[in-house]
């Protein structure tokens, strides 16, 4: 089956990824977030791509500081989360969870993923199941909880868990190796994670990304999607506690790892 959308990831800044989506039917190009790195302009030039749309996940500087340059050069539609519009400029449209955003021959569903920042959103491409999770969900991890609260963040991750297993996962950072090491500190005998660590180390040694992942893999192996699994609760000494407390404990343990 030929792909309807071509998706490219470019490593920028220290650990960020800029992500580009080209609709193969209409040749429209969208970007997820806009870190301030000239590598992005070089990448677009080399392919002759001009972004028609920038989809912003959240307000953090390493996701929005390049918007000015991109706007000046390509004048795209810049879509930002309604709840963070006052902190993101320039922008041209705001969008809220639950909305459907047409792009080329496809559509994004806007998902509520609060906690890293309170207005964080994620974009799900319906026609070629792909999740652009920003800093809400990483491979084998999740974003730091700057704004919280824990119950809202866990609720958002639970919603992501409802997406189909074959969904490709793209995120804002390359943090996989650290995330796997932390996950293995909770569940030492987790064979799939041990194998995945070796794979990820080989990929990184060869300067290759460990993304995209799939939601199916993450549901089985990402501790932040397994908060209601007694094994994870037990690892943080919270067996029987409410799920948001378990989530908060796992997130705190990761912060201190």
State in angstroms the smallest separation of the CB of 146 from Zn ion.
Answer: 8
No. of helices (H) and no. of strands (E), the chain: 9, 14
User: Which one, 135 or 218, has the nearer CB to Zn ion?
Assistant: 135
What the block records as the tokens of 154 is 């866990």
Is residue 84 involved in binding Zn ion (CB under 5 A)?
A: no
The structure tokens listed for 124 are 């799900």
Specify the stretch interacting with Zn ion by CB under 5 A; choose among 94-102, 130-138, 151-159, 229-237: 130-138
- Per the CB < 8 A criterion, the answer to whether 132 and 32 are in contact is yes
> Quick check: is 63 catalytic?
yes
Among 36, 37, 52, 63, the active-site one is 63
Query: CA 15, CA 158: separation in Å to the nearest integer?
Result: 26
Catalytic residue, candidates 33, 52, 60, 120? 60
Kindly tell me which residue out of 33, 36, 84, 135 binds Zn ion, with binding defined by CB under 5 A.
135
CB 204 within 8 A of CB 177: yes
The angle, 0 to 180 degrees and rounded to 10, between the axes of the packed helices 176-186 and 243-255 is 120
Annotate 5-50 with DSSP letters as a single string.
EEEEEEEETTTEEEEEEEETTT--EEEE---S-HHHHHHHHHHT--
Q: How far apart are CB 16 and Zn ion at their closest, in Å?
A: 9
Active site residue 178: no
Contact 140, 214 (CB under 8 A): no
Shortest Cβ distance from residue 120 to Zn ion (Å)? 8
User: How many residues form the binding site for Zn ion (CB under 5 A)?
Assistant: 2
Residue 116 catalytic?
yes
**166/255 with CB nearer Zn ion:** 255
Which window, 100-108, 131-139, 233-241, 242-250, contacts Zn ion (CB under 5 A)?
Answer: 131-139
- Please say if 62 is a catalytic residue: yes
Query: Residue 174 has which token pair?
Result: 């390359």
Among 33, 36, 37, 135, which one carries the catalytic annotation?
135
Q: Is 60 in the site for Zn ion (CB under 5 A)?
A: yes
Instruction: Label the pairing between strands 141-142 and 168-170.
Output: unpaired
**95, β-bridge pairs:** 81
Annotated catalytic residue 196: no
Angle of the 67-74 helix axis to the 38-47 helix axis, nearest 10 = 30
Scanning 10-18, 128-136, 154-162, 233-241 for contacts with Zn ion by CB under 5 A, the matching segment is 128-136
Q: Least distance in Å: CB of 11 to Zn ion?
A: 16
Tell me which H or E stretch contains 42: helix 38-47
Does residue number 173 form part of the binding site for Zn ion (CB under 5 A)? no
Contact residues for Zn ion (CB under 5 A)? 60, 135
What are the catalytic residues? 58, 60, 62-63, 116, 135, 173
């Amino acid at each position: 089956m030929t792909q309807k959308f071509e998706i490219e990831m470019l490593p920028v800044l220290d650990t960020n990824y800029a992500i580009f989506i080209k609709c193969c039917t209409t040749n429209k190009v969208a970007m997820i977030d806009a870190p301030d790195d000239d590598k992005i302009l070089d990448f677009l030039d080399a392919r002759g791509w001009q972004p028609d749309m920038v989809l912003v996940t959240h307000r953090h500087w390493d996701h929005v500081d390049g918007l000015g340059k991109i706007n000046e050069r390509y004048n795209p539609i810049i879509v930002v989360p309604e709840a963070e519009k006052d902190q993101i400029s320039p922008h041209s449209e705001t969008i809220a969870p639950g909305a459907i955003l047409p792009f080329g021959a496809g559509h994004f569903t806007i998902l509520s993923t609060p906690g890293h920042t309170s207005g964080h959103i994620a974009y799900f491409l319906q026609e070629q199941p792909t999740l652009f999770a920003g800093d809400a969900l990483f491979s084998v991890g999740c974003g730091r909880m700057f704004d919280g609260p824990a119950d809202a963040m866990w609720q958002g991750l639970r919603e992501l868990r409802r997406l189909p297993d074959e969904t490709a996962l793209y995120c804002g950072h390359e943090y996989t190796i650290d995330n796997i090491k932390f996950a293995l500190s909770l569940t030492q005998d987790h064979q799939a994670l041990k194998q995945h660590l070796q794979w990820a180390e080989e990929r990184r040694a060869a300067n290759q990304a460990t993304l995209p992942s799939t939601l199916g893999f993450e549901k089985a192996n990402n501790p932040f999607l397994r908060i209601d699994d007694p094994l994870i609760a037990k690892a943080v000494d919270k067996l029987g506690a409410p799920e948001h407390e378990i989530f908060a404990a796992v997130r705190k343990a990761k912060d201190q790892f």
